[in-house]
Structures are given as C-alpha cells and as structure tokens.
Chain A
Amino acid sequence: MQRNHELAVRVRADDDVIDKFEIEIDEMAIQLLTKAPLASNLRLVTVAMKISQNLERIGDEATKIAKRARDLSHEPPVKIQPWICRAWPTLALAMVKDALDSFVQKDSAAARTIIPRDKEVDALNKQIHQQLAQHMMENPTPLAVACIGLSLPRASNASPTTRRTSPRKWFISARRRTSGIRRKTDFPCAVKFFW
C-alpha cells in the first residue's frame, strides 16, 4: 500500500513536469515560427506542438489511472487475463515511442509502419471489454461495475476514437444487462469517470 502511495505521488509529480514541458515547447515553437524560412519548417513546428499536446494528455491519463487504481485497491480484483493487462500498455507505449522517433528522424516510412499496429491495441482493448462485460454479468453488483473504471482510462489513452464512442455505449449496454441496477448513483466510480 505504501509503495502504491509513493508511486501515485510520483505519477502526479511526473504529470506536473509534463505540463511544464508543454508550456516550454509551446514557447519554443512560437519563437521558432517567427524564424522559419520555409513552409515545411512551419509544418514541423506545428506538428511538434500537436505532439506535445498529446503527450500532455498521456500524462493526464496516467494520473487518472493512478487515481482509479487507488480508489479500487480495496475492492475484489476483476477477472482479466494478466497478460492482456501487461501487453496493452506495452504495445501502446511502443507505438508512441516509435512514432516520436520517426518524427525526430524524419522517417516517413517508419511512421507508416506504426499505423497498422493500432489494430493490435484495439484488439486487446476489445478483449478486455469483453472480459469485463462477462465479469459484470457474473457479478451484477455496484462494486463489480465500479471496478470497470480501472481499465477505461487506459482504453481512452490507447484509442482516442474509442474514447469518443464505445466506452459510453458499452457502459450503457452493460448497465441494461445488469439486473437490479438502474440509476447512475448506483455506479459511483464509473459515474465519476463518465459523467
């Protein structure tokens, strides 16, 4: 428990540093925009600004995951195959790293090879959702539903398109299937995440 608290403090500290990096990168980029001799230089600088926004969001999501994990640490564990939980963040982080490397090295061929890898992350995301839905059907209690909040920030982080659509639809659909639970107030953690 103490170790988890220390890690949570570190995640918050990392997020603060990431926020400062974003501000510094914006300032550097604005300065560079005034000096850009070519249109292609302008594109590079604006893309760098966009990348820093996305990295900042990753930091925010990491903080959310830490908070959810802390909230749920006293609840019974949810049945998810451990290898999926390990593989998911590993794959997503490798994609981020390779994408950034391809940007820094101006390697468009390497960048193109990263795009199809998103399907692997999506497939793992789908498997986790299926396993969580199964768990909910077997354990139709508010606690079981609340445990799902643990995995959703990771889903959002891995796939922005999924974040906009699927989790909410999936959650509503799962709620309908779960007998005896009908109001938003019955889902404390999940509600906090979604509404």
Chain B
Amino acid sequence: MENLFETGLDALRQKLLLMASRAETAVNESVQIAHAAQS
C-alpha cells in the first residue's frame, strides 16, 4: 500500500515539474513579446 502511494506520489511530482516547465516557457515567451513591444 505504501509503495503504491510512493509510486503515485513520484508520478505526481513529475507531472508538477512538467507543468512548471510549461509555465516557465509560457512566461518567457510572453516576456519576449512584451520586450519586442517596448523596443
């Protein structure tokens, strides 16, 4: 039971990291647009 939970938790952590990476990409892209608009 505990192993099953740990495996699930690892998967959850990996999913969070993927989500954060996508959020970082989105912010970087939007900041690039903002910089271009200001230059």
Contacts and interface: CB of A to CB of B under 8 A. Distances in A.
Contacts of A48: 12-13, 16
A36 B7 CA distance: 12
**Interface size class, chain B:** 20 to 34
B27 A89 contact: yes
B34 A68 contact: yes
**Interface size class, chain A:** 35 or more
Contacts, number: 141
Nearest to A14: B26
Interface in B1-39: 1-2, 4-5, 8-9, 11-13, 15-20, 22-39
A14 B16 contact: no
A96 B29 contact: no
A14 to B, nearest CB: 4
Contacts of A66: 29-30, 33-34
Nearest to B19: A21
Contact of B1 (A25, A37, A65): A37
A82 B35 CA distance: 9
A3 B38 contact: no
Contact of B30 (A41, A69, A96): A69
A37 B6 CA distance: 10
B14 to A, nearest CB: 9
Nearest to B32: A7
A191 interface: no
Contacts of B12: 25, 28-29, 32, 45, 48
A172 interface: no
